[in-house]
Structure 1
Amino acid sequence: MPEGKIVKALAGFYYVLDGERFVQCRGRGLFRKNKITPLVGDEVVYQAENDKEGTIIEVLPRKNELVRPPISNVDQAILVFSAIEPAFSTLLLDRFLVLVEANGIEPVICISKTDLIESAELKENILSFASDYQEAGYRVFQTSAENMEGISSLGPLFEDKISVFAGQSGVGKSSLLNAIKPDLALKTDDISSHLGRGKHTTRHVELIAIDSGLIADTPGFSSLDFTGIEVQDLGHCFPEIRERAGDCKFRGCTHVSEPKCAVKEAVQKGEIKEYRYTHYLSFLEEIKDRKPRY
């Protein structure tokens, strides 16, 4: 049986990429009965009726999956945050980072619109934040789709990976993709499709080829709540907390009021940025206050 990857799902059809060939497939009737929903990004086994049509027989095991957007087997998330318009927000960035880390996806921080920085103070602030996140263990890129700053360094990130772009509306995700691969001609207000669609009329996901990689054509994360993340999981979603947690006196330390906590000690020494720790505490309270789901 041939195998391939679902690169688009629309109106009950799954478009499977097998080598350089697209096969339009339906799912097996048993999928619905067994509550199996094939997702864009899935590796599947299919049965071909002819050169262009087939039926998906089996969905192979996933390494991860996202609910919103519905996509699986994501390798990395490019988190695009503008230096200005809208203003750079460490609180929102940390929320995105936690969601990405919790799903076992490698985050990459991309600070966009650097060409709009006019004041020396803002430039210094952005450089400081970039340095903070690099020290915490993240890859950080400063870019401008306008003057092409940093664009060439983004290209190699996508090689042999499935990537998603995420960030606030208006941060320039489509402009960045156009700068990386101009022939995509993505609209900067609504992403258009290389497979014949116009503007987004639905919120379905599609994978676009960029060299040897695939990027999700999607509006990004539409839900930013911490559903599925438990109190004991949160510290693992902050690299600088994760690497010090083993040195805490008590196993299962939540790094709040426990004595001899290596994380709090690192905050006091300035080794963990205070605003990152403050965001951790805020997210922890949010998770604790979450209403139980039955």
Structure 2
Amino acid sequence: MMRRSHAVQHPDAPAIRAQVLRGLAASRTPGFHFPGHFLGVSWPRIGEEEIEEVMPDGPHCRDADGSTSLVALAVLLDTALATAPRLKIERGARQGTVQIHAQFTGEPAGAALTARARLAGFTTGAVRQALTRGAVFSAGRPVCYASGTFVVLPPPPGVTLAPLPWQRESSEPVSPLEENELRSDERSIMKACESALERADQQHGFIEHFWGALPRATRYGARCTIRIGAQHGNRVGHVQGGLLFGLAAVTARAAAARHPQLSAVSAWFVKPGEGSRLDVRSRLVHAGRSFAVVRTEVTARGGTRVLEVVSNHAA
């Protein structure tokens, strides 16, 4: 694969490429999505009703300021909350995220992250929903507390789902693929990796370019346009739910520049993120002395609403 000289100069390029290639290798075994494999998440503890999931630190998941990407944190949070119901439902079943709420503490996410999640129960009287709660920790300190709601969905036509890594009898560590072994969809992810390495600078790190978390200010808030690629996909090819949540949170944070600390985010999942593009629009609806409120809409091509979000930001 041809690489431009600027990409080679990225100080962490070899480690980041290896991480992407390792994620691609792991993704060849059905059951989990590329974003999770790329981030290297694992489950050191699986209990009867609670789980622990960890995400190691590394240059591939840090923003330009050295902190862990909010989008990466959101993927960890979503997958941890979604894992807890899997302790009680059919092995390998497809779940859809209905709603997530996250309350941030102000503690920085600057190291390896640990998420702990517990199944609170299931709803009755209508569509059965799993209720979960959890928290994400950095160096033992809570970064955020969260709750989520999930529903079992049928797989899309022609898609057969497999057990997740922790549900398999054995799950051996994988070695990174060689670039000459890549398939067409894998080459597209590697191309996105090379482009992100080339464009990364002191303002925006690799992962911000890789996943398109590059909001820009508008008159009334902020906007972010994401070209959907294979690097965004979940097990059925839609944009992974934690990625949607994280991209919305990053754009909302940009809309409330005078209130830089993200306090809380509530998101309702309306439709799958699919197609060629996502449009994230955040509008500042209130800016007070201490707090701001932002409303964010994520839409697909044609204006189809994908995600509805309200967030609170502290000065």
TM-score (ref. length: structure 1): 0.27
Ranked by relative contact order (alpha carbons within 8 Å, sequence separation 6 or more), the top structure is 2
TM-score (ref. length: structure 2): 0.25
Structure showing greater radius of gyration is 1
